[in-house]
Structure 1
Amino acid sequence: MTSLSVVVPAYNEGEGLREFQRRVAAVFDTLDLDCSVLYVDDGSRDDTWSVMESLRAADGRVATLKLSRNFGKELALTAGLDHVDADAVVVIDADLQDPPELIADFVAKWREGYDVVYGTRASRAGETAFKKFTSAAFYRVMERMTDLPIPRDTGDFRLMSRRAIDALKQLRERQRFMKGLFTWVGFPQASIVYDRDPRFAGDSKWNYWRLWNFALEGITSFSSFPLRLATYVGVVAALVAFVFGIVVFAKALIFGDPVRGYPSLMVVVLFLGGVQLMALGVIGEYLGRTYVESKQRPLYLIDRHHPPRSGDR
Structure 2
Amino acid sequence: MGRIDLSIVIPVKNEEENLGELISRLSTTVNSMNLTHELIFVTDINRDRTYEILKESNKKDPRIKTVKLSNGFGQYTAIMAGLNNTFGNAVVIMDGDLQDYPEDIPKLYNKMKEGFDVVYGIKQKKNDTFIRNFFSKSFWKILNRFSDYDIELNSGMFRILSRRVADELKKFNEKQILLTGLISITGFPTTKVEVTSGRRIRGNTKYSFFQQFNMAINALLSFSTKPLRIISFCGLIVAVFSFLILCVVFIEKIFYQGDVPGWTTIVVLISLLGGVQLFALGIVGEYIGRIFIETKDRPLYIIEDKIGDFSSELLIPDTELFEKKLHTS
Q: Is the structural similarity TM-score above 0.5? A: yes
* Kept in 2: contact 1:36–1:63 (CA 8 A): yes
Counterpart contact for 1:43–1:71, Cα < 8 Å: no
Within a 5 Å distance, the mapping from 1:162-241 to structure 2 comes to: 162-241=163-242
Q: What is the letter of the counterpart of residue 11 of structure 2? A: P
Report the Cα distance in structure 2 between the residues aligned to 1:159 and 1:146, rounded to whole angstroms. Answer: 23
Residues 36 and 308, structure 1, Cα contact 8 Å, conserved in 2: no
In structure 1, the residue matched to 2:103 is 101
Q: Could you tell me which residue of structure 2 aligns to residue 142 of structure 1? A: 143
Q: TM-score, normalised by structure 1?
A: 0.95
SS at 1:69 equivalent:
coil
- Per the alignment, residue 84 of structure 1 pairs with 86
Q: 2:161 is matched by which residue type in structure 1?
A: M
In the alignment, the residues of structure 2 paired with residue 285 and residue 45 of structure 1 have an alpha-carbon distance, to the nearest angstrom, of 32
Q: CA 1:218 to 1:309, structure 2 compared with 1: closer, same or farther past 3 Å?
A: closer
The change in CA–CA distance for 1:29 and 1:296 in structure 2 (over 3 A counts) is same
Report the equivalent of 2:38. 36
How far apart are 1:109 and its partner, in Å? 1.1
The answer (yes or no) to whether the contact 1:20–1:96 under 8 Å persists in 2 is yes
Give 2:41's aligned amino acid: Y
Helix, strand or coil at the partner of 2:56:
helix
Return the alpha-carbon distance in structure 2 between the equivalents of residues 193 and 28 of structure 1.
19
* C-alpha distance after superposition, 1:82-123 (max 9, x if no partner): 011110110011000011110011111122211111001111
Q: Residue 60 of structure 2: which of 46, 58, 61 is its match?
A: 58
Q: Take 1:18 and 1:70, find their aligned partners in 2: how far apart are those partners?
A: 23
**Residue type of the partner of 1:40?**
V
> TM-score, normalising length from structure 2?
0.91
- Taking the aligned partners of 2:129 and 2:4, their CA distance within structure 1 comes to 41
**Which segment is superposed worse, 283-292 or 108-117?**
108-117
2:49 maps to: 47
SS at 2:16's partner residue? coil
Counting matched residue pairs gives 310
* Paired residues of 2:4 and 2:38 also in contact (CA < 8 A): no
Q: Residue type of the partner of 2:258?
A: D
Secondary structure of 1:191's aligned partner: strand
| 1:6-25 pair list within 5 angstroms | 6-25=8-27
Which residue number corresponds to residue 122 of structure 2?
120
Deviation (angstroms), 1:130: 2.1
Q: Which runs of 5+ in 1 are unaligned?
A: none
Distance in 1, matches of 2:81 and 2:39, equals 14
Q: Is the 8 A contact 1:4 1:88 kept in 2?
A: yes
Output one character per residue of 1:16-57: Cα deviation in whole Å (capped at 9) or x when no partner. 111110110110221121011011113223221111112212
How far apart are residue 15 of structure 1 and its match? 1.8
> Contact between 2:62 and 2:308, CA under 8 Å: does it hold in 1?
no
| Structure 2 unpaired stretches of 5+ | 315-329
Cα RMSD of the aligned pairs, angstroms, is: 1.6
CA deviation after TM superposition for structure 1 residue 251, in Å: 1.3
SS in 2 for 1:196: coil
**Cα distance in structure 1, aligned partners of 2:72 and 2:90:** 27
Counterpart of 1:55, as a letter, is: S
**Contact 1:123/1:194 (CA < 8 Å) preserved in 2?**
no
Q: Residue 64 of structure 1: SS of its match in structure 2?
A: strand
CA deviation after TM superposition for structure 1 residue 307, in Å: 2.1
Q: Which moved more, 1:53-62 or 1:273-282?
A: 53-62
- Secondary structure of 2:192's aligned partner: strand
